[in-house]
Chain A
Amino acid sequence: MLRYYLKLGMLSIRANPALSALMVAAIGIGIGACMTIMTIQHVMSGNPIPGKSDSLYYVQIDSWDPNNEYNGPNELPEQLTYLDATGIDAAAGDEFRVVWSYKSSRILQPGDGADLPFEVRTRATSFRFFSMFALPFRYGASWDAAADRNREQVVVLSSALNERLFGGGNPVGESVTMNGDVYRVVGVLEPWLPVPKFYDVTNNPYEEPEEAYLPVTVAVAAEHDSAGNTNCWKPFPGGYEAFLNSECIWFQMWAELPTAADKSRFEQLLAAYVEEQKTLGRFPREMHNELSDVMEWMQDNEVVDDDVSVLLGLAFLFLVVCLLNTIGLLLAKVMRRTKDISLRRALGASKQTLFAQYVVEAGLIGIGGGVLGIALTWLGLRGIENLFAGYDFVERLVTMDWVMVLLAVGLAVVSALAAALYPTWRAANVTPASQLRIQ
């Protein structure tokens, strides 16, 4: 039976090529607009670390100005001071896995002088960073706890930087000079590109990860400036020492807390820490600590741009217009064929038969619209890539995966069927022989 309906559907589509093309085009364009924006939204709101996103928590405490909230009501500072990063780390000891880091930059001086010095983006952190965020190693491994403690001048290179410096070979044990300081290479990463760059979203959440990683103890001792956001509320006297002891926030801290029990113990630890600091005259505001897992933290920071949400809403309304259009056209088509239908009814076709026939026809149009929609989505993404060509991260946001392709076809068929419901119902309800009187 289905084959017969398919044949009828094709016939009917071919009988009205202009009208059918208009319907396919309307659905295709609506789907294309929606899917283009949905693809970008899908990538932007993706889970950057699927296996661990529930057990990694971003740490926030309210160390801010007693007179002014950080950024509006109930908003916590999004980073930590040096005092608190080191203080919480010390309190956590070996009981909890805690990582704190900041973004910086160094000037790398290639050894043989053939290449000119160039800037590398660095991340100053502790040895646990690599295992906590599951960074893949190509050569060597992370440095160890002792290296952090003893301020050893060690570095882990990104795959790209290793390519540039050592031609992709194994440089473990070699040395690298940055700003006159010599670092020993202990490891090289495989290409690693979390989208968004979840471990530090206080800066651009879509930029590439840093090119070199070094112990935060080394970076602080050598006074590497933060290349990320630094915010202060309390004036402090001059000098780097005073800056370290200031209320300026510039560190991001994560804790790995696999169970609910771990989380509640860590919450207690934070509360105890803040209480202790209050006795020392810090934390003038009411205690407010927060632990957010990866996806919560992405949402808090609105890593999905407002513009994308606006466009997504408008694109859906656009699809609604396209569907209204399709409903109108399908209805027109049915009305034009009332004579056919009433003749078929008079000859014994049941309501169900007619309903099935028109649903199959709408399904065909939906599939056509879906295929066109995928093509238009691809075009739309290329267009957006073009519009944003100035941002080097745009190419990471405009990639379509299979999920999106299937979603496009699914959405198209569902929309076409939804659009077909009313006209089909009208068709099935044409009374037998009602239109035959004139003949």
Chain B
Amino acid sequence: MELGPIWRSLSKNKAGFLLIALQIAVTMAIMINAVAIMQERARDMGRPSGLDEPNIFALSSTAFVPGMNMRALIDEDLELIRRTPGVIDAIATNSFPLRQGGSSRGFQTEPGTGKDDVGAAVYFTDEHAIETFGLMLVEGSNFAPNEVTWTEEGSDAWAGTVIVSRAFAEALFPDEEGSYVGKTMYVDQAKPVQITGVVETLQAPWKGWDGVERAMLVPQRRDFNFQRYVVRTEPGMRDVVMPQVEEALAQSNRNRIIQSMRTMDEVRYMAYLGDSAMIKMLAFIVTLLLVITGLGIVGLASFNVSRRTRQIGIRRALGATKTQVVRYFQVENFLVSALGIGVGAVLAVALNMLMVNAFSMAPMAWYIVPIAMVVLWSVGQAAVIGPARRASRISPAIATRSG
């Protein structure tokens, strides 16, 4: 190995090589942290809501004439929607997963004030919810129609039974091993509520909440002027059914307006718009960064080649092969990169700790570091190969010229 000459040449242009090493280090720190953020966002975006999203849409109805019989209107609306060909089922609910707005309550295992509670999103709806959302009931049973009651605006009445997400049951009863069905908990510090069913997954409406997996269905219908309808259609029928339902509802009663009609795909898109944009921006930054660092390496290597033209010529004249010349530049780059990557790993971890503290991010996965090392080494080697080839083509005859 020609480590000796490489070392001597490195120490002759210390500043130049240190700059490249530093550049590689900072690039690595940015890259690793950007990838850590991208990973976190992608993981969030990949969480299932529990719903049969491709076949669901939602819309709202706002009645504006005082004194309307809301219970009758809601029943008629749901009847009309469920009768529409292609519709599997429909519900009225106060909210749904990914909507970013809704209600939550605290639940505790014993009654009384000052007890610890676990928060969960509450969906006030009826026995059609499991079918409409497309939820997987893993324990217990669906609501019976006579379990579902009406509540008036402002009423504090609470249902005696609920169907909860498994994550909620696990959070409230962490030590329970067997069945959650039949368990009693308390809402508003005093009112007993019994779990009669558990669904595999049902998200809360807020994607940024750390309790997003905790939600429940409450068999209470609310006769407010504002209603949100969720409709599930047979596969492939959603886009056909949507305008029909909108038109039919709009025609059926003129004393309300139908608005906010959106597919679940659109709701999901809007919920995660910031995250997907962040992923794209970071990917763009990382790519650009690698290109710039690569170009910097190309620039420095070209400069070194032209500065050492004579020296390379002499080596060639003394019997060095073309491959050896190429290898020389590759090893040189490898060593400089190693320095940069070593410093970069430390910088990256420090920056990550800073961001975890400042922005409550999850710490990065350890394996990003070795992957980033390999990527940066490869970029360095790819960048140096052009100038190194050019160096290898320097004619041995150049050694005979002076200056």
- Please, could you name 6 A-B residue pairs with CB atoms under 8 Å apart, sorted by A? A119-B257, A180-B65, A238-B155, A317-B26, A335-B13, A388-B273
Kindly state whether residue A86 has any CB partner on chain B within 8 Å: no
A336-B299 contact, Cβ under 8 Å, with A317-B30, A387-B280, A390-B273:
no
Instruction: Verify A317–B295 contact, CB threshold 8 A.
Output: no
Return the contact of A422 from the options B15, B188, B276 (Cβ within 8 A).
Answer: B15
CB distance from B238 to the nearest CB of A (A): 20
Whether A26 is near chain B, meaning CB under 8 Å from some CB there, is: yes
Segment with Cβ contacts to A, from B192-200, B209-217, B281-289: B281-289
Instruction: Say yes or no: A107-B64 contact (C-beta < 8 A), given A119-B257, A321-B289, A438-B402.
Output: yes
Binds A, one of B16-24, B46-54, B172-180: B16-24
Confirm or deny: B318 has a beta carbon within 8 angstroms of a beta carbon on chain A.
no
B309 to chain A, nearest CB (A): 11
Contact B65 A235 (CB under 8 A): no
B residues 344-370 with Cβ under 8 Å of A? 355, 358-359
Alpha-carbon gap, A388 to B275, bound state (A) = 10
Name the one of A307, A310, A328 contacting B20, with C-beta atoms under 8 angstroms.
A328
Residue contact A117 to B257, C-beta cutoff 8 Å? yes
B-side contacts of A22, CB under 8 Å: 295, 299
**Which residues of the other chain, A, contact B33 by a CB distance below 8 angstroms?**
314
* Size bin of chain A's contact surface: 35 or more
- Which of A152-160, A208-216, A239-247, A267-275 sits within the interface? A239-247
Is A311 located at the chain interface by the 8 A CB criterion?
yes
Q: Which residues of B contact A289 (CB under 8 A)?
A: none
Among residues of B, the one whose C-beta sits closest to the C-beta of A389 is B273
Among the 9-residue stretches B78-86, B241-249, B300-308, the one with 4 or more Cβ atoms under 8 Å from chain A is: B300-308
Q: Judge if B236 is at the interface, Cβ distance under 8 Å.
A: no
Taking A117-B64, A324-B19 as known contacts, 20 extra A-B pairs with beta carbons closer than 8 A to each other, sorted by chain A number, are A19-B299, A22-B299, A29-B292, A33-B288, A235-B189, A238-B156, A242-B154, A314-B34, A314-B282, A317-B30, A318-B30, A321-B27, A321-B30, A322-B292, A324-B22, A328-B300, A331-B16, A383-B284, A387-B281, A390-B273
In the complex, what residues of A have CB within 8 A of residue B152's CB?
238
Distance from A153 Cβ to chain B, minimum over Cβ atoms (Å) = 14
Distance in angstroms from A21 CB to nearest chain B CB is 10
Q: For the complex, is A325 an interface residue (Cβ under 8 Å from B)?
A: yes
Kindly state the separation between the CA atoms of A315 and B281 in the bound complex, as whole angstroms.
11
The residues in B between 133 and 167 inclusive whose CB is less than 8 angstroms from any CB of A are 152-157
Q: How far is A384 from B280 in the complex, measured between Cα atoms in Å?
A: 10
Contact A235 B188 (CB under 8 A): yes
A179: CB under 8 A from chain B?
yes
Q: Say yes or no for B66: interface residue by CB 8 A criterion.
A: yes
**Contact in complex: B62, A107 (CB < 8 Å):** yes
Contact B157 A318 (CB under 8 A): no
Interface: A118 (CB within 8 A): yes
Query: Is the beta-carbon distance between B273 and A240 smaller than 8 angstroms?
Result: no
- For A324, what are the chain B residues with a Cβ–Cβ distance below 8 Å? 19, 22-23, 26, 296
Task: Kindly identify, within residues 251 to 266 of chain B, every residue whose CB is under 8 Å from any CB belonging to chain A.
Answer: 257, 259
Residues of A within 8 A of B23 (CB): 321, 324-325, 328
Indicate the member of B257, B281, B295, B300 with the most A CB atoms within 10 Å: B281
For residues 315 through 353 of chain A, which have their beta carbon under 8 Å from a beta carbon of chain B? 315, 317-318, 320-322, 324-325, 327-329, 331-332, 335-336
Given A238-B152, A311-B281, A306 and B15 contact (CB-CB distance below 8 Å)? no
Name B24-42 residues within 8 Å CB distance of A.
Answer: 26-27, 29-30, 33-34, 37
Q: How far is the CB of B102 from chain A (nearest CB, A)?
A: 11
- The answer to whether B154 touches A243, judged by C-beta atoms less than 8 angstroms apart, is yes
Task: With CB as the reference atom, state the residue of chain B lying closest to A339.
Answer: B403
Chain A 5-36 per-residue mask, 1 if CB under 8 angstroms from chain B, else 0: 00000000000000100100010010001000
A299 sits at the interface (CB 8 A): no
Query: Quick check: A67 and B277 within 8 Å, CB to CB?
Result: no
When distances are taken between beta carbons in the complex, the residues of chain A under 8 Å from B292 are 26, 29, 321-322, 325
Task: Check B30 against A314 for contact (C-beta < 8 Å).
Answer: yes
Residues on B with C-beta less than 8 A from A225 are 226
Q: Give the chain B neighbours of A19 by CB distance below 8 A.
A: 299
Whole-angstrom CA separation of A432 from B15 in the bound complex: 21
Contacts of A426 in B (CB 8 A): 15
A-B complex: 5 closest residue pairs judged by Cβ atoms = A107-B64, A332-B303, A238-B155, A387-B277, A235-B188
* Nearest A-chain residue to B354, judged by Cβ: A313
Q: Do B30 and A335 have beta carbons less than 8 Å apart?
A: no
Q: Decide: A238 near B154, CB < 8 A? Known: A107-B62, A314-B34, A390-B269.
A: yes
B154, A438: Cβ atoms under 8 Å?
A: no
B residues less than 8 Å from A332 (CB atoms): 16, 299-300, 303
Closest chain B residue, CB of each to CB of A116: B257
Tell yes or no: B93 within 8 A of A by CB. Answer: no
CB nearest to B30 among chain A residues:
A317
A22 to B300, CA, bound (A): 12
Q: Which residues of B contact A279 (CB under 8 A)?
A: none
Contact A310 B359 (CB under 8 A): yes
- A318 near B19: Cβ-Cβ < 8 Å: no
Contact B296 A329 (CB under 8 A): yes
Name which residue of chain B comes closest to A386, CB basis: B277
- Contact with B19, one of A118, A322, A328, A439 (Cβ below 8 angstroms): A328
Cross-chain contact A107 with B257 (CB below 8 angstroms): yes
Interface flags for A377-401 (1: CB within 8 Å of B; 0: not) read 0000001100110110000000000
B154 engages A239 (CB within 8 Å): yes
Residues A180 and B296 in contact, CB atoms below 8 Å apart: no
Question: Residue B270 at the A interface, CB < 8 A?
Answer: yes
Q: Given that A180-B64, A336-B306 are known contacts, is A317 also in contact with B355, CB under 8 Å in the complex?
A: no
Given contacts A107-B62, A329-B296, A390-B270, contact A438 B26 (CB under 8 A): no
A179 x B16 contact (CB < 8 A): no
Contact A384 B277 (CB under 8 A): yes
A314-B33, A314-B34 known; A331-B188 Cβ under 8 A: no
Q: Which residues of A contact B306 (CB under 8 A)?
A: 336
Give Cα A328 to B152, complex, Å: 73
Say which residue of B65, B276, B281, B403 sits within 8 Å of A438 (CB atoms): B403
Whether A236 sits at the interface, judged by CB under 8 Å, is yes
List of B residues within 8 angstroms of A240 by Cβ: 153-154
Kindly state whether residue A50 has any CB partner on chain B within 8 Å: no
Cα A320 to Cα B280 in complex, Å, equals 21
A309 on the B face (CB < 8 A): yes
Which positions 305-319 of chain B face chain A at CB distance < 8 Å? 306-307
Q: In the complex, which residue of chain B has the Cβ closest to the Cβ of A237? A: B156
